[in-house]
Amino acid sequence: MALPKDAQADRPTPGALEPAGDERRLAGSPHAVAANAAVLALTRAARSFTLYDPANKVVRALIADFRDRFRAVLDGFGPLVLDVHPFELALGREVVYLERDRERSLAFRLFRDGVRRLAFAADASWEELLRLLQILSIRYTGVRQQEDDLVTLLRKADFEKIQVSAIEGFVPEEEQQEGRLDGDLPRGSPARYDPPPQWDLPLPPFPEATPLRYRAVAPELLERLRAEEGEDQVPRHALRAVGELLQSAGGEDLQAVLAFALEVREYLLVEQRSDLLLELVSLVRSALAGEAASAFLETWLDARTLRALVSTLGPDEAEVPPPLALLLDATPESTLDRLIDLLAEEGDGPRAPLLRRLVVRGCRHNPGAIATRRHGATGAEAAALLRLLAEVDPAKALHAALEATTADDPLTQREALRILEGAAFGPEIARGFLHLLESGHEPVRLAALPVMAARGGPRVFPALRSHVEKHVARLSAAEAEAAGQALVQASPRAAVETFGEWLRPRGGGLSGKLGKVTASPVVQRAALAGLRAVGAPEAAALVALLAEHGDAVLRPEARAALASMPRGGPRG
């Protein structure tokens, strides 16, 4: 049947819409890709009511995915305007949804009932999106002809942030009308053929009658029968169905089977059956070859699927199973990017070592991928990439760590400190430590002080002393104590002399009458923290000075330290 003129006017050309599969993920701009994901999530959630009870966890998961996908496209790209065609939904000139099966197609249901455009405002509320999902699910599950069509239901919903443009829908009298029989017969009255005389008579009775007997089924046989049809066997049955269909599919039928396999993948993800995902992906990949297999894996091995596949491995598993290794090596660039994303999300979680091993393994195909990703990365991702670079190329990692010491990012600076700690000490490494001491983040400075003292020793003592004297106004109690301990760690004797210069009052000495300590409380705390680690007589005398004439808050601590100080020479 011909379409109305307004439906034909803006329909894309057939060549641009040749499908590679039902409801496939269509390429295009980032806006179109996000819109495609949102529409697919909407259709899956609407169709789920035909398969599951509304209270099922699968339905809840699909509704949550629909909410997140729509929120992502509206927040990321603004209003979403979809033009409705008989089998496609278009965003401007880009097709974001294509399904030619009328029973499944959301576009066909909308177009049949007269809807020609759906416009979602950027601030569309979740309540209105949920109401739209309810309306579409009603049309998917409805079987009565007297139900309202979509346009009526959408108008009754009285949306504020969702606009619906519609015309009068059309319903063909018959899809394929058959011609009259009379026209195909020669002129004259058509011949008549009557059934045999005994056509509709009852069957004659059988001469022999056999009594009906029942036999009880053993409990173990009943249990086996129930197990074959139990809910836990549904994923296995779905996997077997995909394998059987792939064996008999070919040509255009293969695309329909791949679409069904995609639905099975979504089902396995929702049911958290990661153990079967690898088998499914390997099964479908074996039916494809060459570029088709690469394109298939590029679409299928998204972040969710890859995360589920990795979850099947133990955190301490050193070797990647061969089937998973083949899949990871099939599309190394995109897979490597997604593994890096998973590692950034994991942070310091239990699976971080496993993900790092997978990324390092993937860098064999693309050694420069980590360096490329580092540009513009911040936070956990930048820190994870810097650690990965240290495992792939230590020389480049050291250079990157020196640059990262000046970044205003605490996670990256902490990772740079870890790399500098293992490097041979020299002038460049010393400058890197100095940059970390000037960091605007106190946790970074607290971590850098002991590492710098341990690696530099007496060579960095002047810089550590200058750090305390220069920043005395900003030092917290924790940083002051860490600085005092770092001074002793770098050079015990020089530290005791420095503490004496800080604490001795003007115009007097330790052998004379002790006066009031004029150093600031922060300096006193740094000195006390360092003197606790020293057992020389000079240290005990300075602690005694603080116990008697130091800051009122520090006097009890100084007395306790003096009572527990060991006798003898300085440690170290």
End-to-end CA distance of the chain: 96
Query: Could you give the CA distance from residue 205 to residue 494 in angstroms, rounded to a whole number?
Result: 119
Q: What is the pLDDT of residue 453?
A: 87
Q: At which residue do the structure tokens 């009255």 appear? A: 189
Cα 478 to its chain centre, rounded Å, is 37
Amino acid at the residue 388: L
Q: Tell me which residue of 354, 414, 362 sits closest to 392, measured CA to CA.
A: 362
Report residue 453 as tokens: 């003292």
Judged against a pLDDT cut of 90, whether residue 82 lies above it is answered with yes
Q: How far is CA 54 from CA 57, 104, 135, 147, in A?
A: 8, 19, 14, 21
| Alpha carbon distance 364, 294 (integer Å) | 18
Sign for the pseudo-dihedral over CA of 361, 364, 365, 366: positive
Q: pLDDT digit string (tens) for 420-431?
A: 888 888 888 889
Neighbours of 151 (CB within 10 A): 19
Q: Which residue has the tokens 């940083």?
A: 479
| pLDDT band (50, 70, 90) for residue 173 | very low
pLDDT at 112 over 70: yes
570 pLDDT higher than 60: no
Residue boundaries of the structural domains of the chain: 5-166, 243-366, 456-505+515-572
Calpha distance 69→75 (Å, rounded): 10
Encoded tokens for 40: 């697919």
Which helix (H) or strand (E) element contains residue 205? Answer: none
Beta strands at 115-120 and 80-84: parallel, antiparallel or unpaired: antiparallel
Host H or E run for residue 21: none
Pair of tokens at residue 296: 């298939």
Neighbours of 328 (CB within 10 A): 23
CB 360 within 8 A of CB 391: yes
pLDDT score for 26: 55
Residue 401 has pLDDT above 80, yes or no: yes
How many helices (H) does the chain have, and how many strands (E)?
A: 27, 5
Instruction: Identify the residue with better confidence: 130 or 26.
Output: 130
- What does the pLDDT read at residue 258? 82
Mean pLDDT of the chain: 77
Mean pLDDT of 316-330: 71
Amino acid code (one letter) for 366: N
Q: Minimal CA–CA distance to 525: which of 565, 493, 555?
A: 555
Q: 117 forms bridges with which residues in the sheet?
A: 83, 165
The rounded distance, in Å, linking the Cα atoms of 202 and 439 is 99
**Amino acid identity, position 413:** Q
Look up residue 209 and give its DSSP letter.
-
Of residues 276, 258, 255, the one with CA closest to residue 267: 276
The residues that bridge with 84 in the sheet, in sequence order, are 89
User: Residue 558: exposed, middle, or buried by beta-carbon count in 10 A (0-12, 13-18, 19+)?
Assistant: buried
Mean pLDDT in residue range 82-106:
89
Look at 17-26, 169-178, 290-299 and tell me which has the smallest mean pLDDT: 17-26
Yes or no: say if 390 and 421 are a contact pair by the CB < 8 Å rule.
no
Indicate if the pLDDT at residue 360 is higher than 80: no
Q: What type of residue is 570? A: P
Residue 251 has a pLDDT of 65
pLDDT of amino acid 195:
62
Pinpoint the alpha helices (H) of 113-218: 126-141, 150-157
Rounded alpha-carbon distances, angstroms, from residue 234 to 47, 237, 264: 18, 5, 10
Res 158: pLDDT: 85
527: confidence class by pLDDT, cuts 50, 70, 90? confident
Alpha-carbon span 295 to 334, nearest angstrom: 11
**Span 267-293, average pLDDT:** 76
Instruction: Find tokens 């205003």 and name the residue.
Output: 408
Predicted confidence band of residue 262 (pLDDT cuts 50, 70, 90): confident
Q: What is the per-residue pLDDT for 78? A: 92
Mean pLDDT calculated for residue range 43-50? 82
- Helix 252-270 to helix 291-300 angle (10° resolution) is 30
How large a percentage of the chain has pLDDT more than 90?
Answer: 9
Burial status of residue 169 (CB atoms within 10 A of its CB: 0-12, 13-18, 19 or more): middle
Q: Is the dihedral of CA 464, 466, 468, 474 positive or negative?
A: negative
User: What letter represents residue 1's amino acid?
Assistant: M
Q: In what order do the strands lie in the sheet with 88-91?
A: 94-98, 88-91, 80-84, 115-120, 162-166
* Cβ contacts of 197 within 8 Å, gap of 6 or more: none
pLDDT over threshold 70, residue 310:
yes
Question: Where does the pLDDT of residue 254 fall: very low under 50, low under 70, confident under 90, or very high at 90 and above?
Answer: confident
C-alpha triplet 389, 394, 397: angle, nearest 5° = 50
